[in-house]
Homo-oligomer: A and B are copies of this chain.
Amino acid sequence: MEKKKVPTSIKDQQLIEKRRNQMIKGAVNLFKEKGFHRTTTREIAKASGFSIGTLYEYIRTKEDVLFLVCDSIYERVKERMEQAIDMEKQSISSLKNAVRSYFQLIDDMQDEVIVMYQEVKSLPKDAQEYVMQKEKDMVHMLERVIQNSLPYDLSDKEITLIANNIFVQGQMWSFRRWILQKDFTLEEYIEKQLSLLFQMLNLDEHVTKIKG
A209: B residues at CB distance < 8 A? 202
Residue-by-residue, is A62-92 near B (CB-CB < 8 Å gives 1, otherwise 0)?
0000000000000000000000000000000
Number of interface residues of A (CB under 8 A): 41
Number of copies: 4
Complex interface: stretch among A14-22, A98-106, A161-169: A161-169
In the complex, A6 has a CB within 8 A of chain B: no
Contacts A154-B210, A184-B157, A210-B200 given; does A176 touch B168 at CB 8 Å: yes
Q: Which residues of B contact A202 (CB under 8 A)?
A: 199, 209-211
Decide if A121 is an interface residue (CB 8 Å cutoff): yes
CB-CB nearest in chain B for A165: B169
Chain B residues closer than 8 Å to A158, beta-carbon distance: 192, 196, 210
Residue of B nearest to A152 (CB): B211
Q: In the complex, what residues of B have CB within 8 A of residue A176's CB?
A: 164, 168
By the criterion CB–CB under 8 Å, are A165 and B164 in contact?
no
A168-B162 contact, Cβ under 8 Å, with A118-B118, A179-B135: no
Residue ranges of A at the interface with B (Cβ–Cβ < 8 Å): 35, 37-38, 118, 121-122, 132, 135-136, 139, 152, 154, 157-158, 160-162, 164-165, 168-169, 172, 176, 178-180, 183-184, 188-189, 192-193, 196-197, 199-202, 209-211
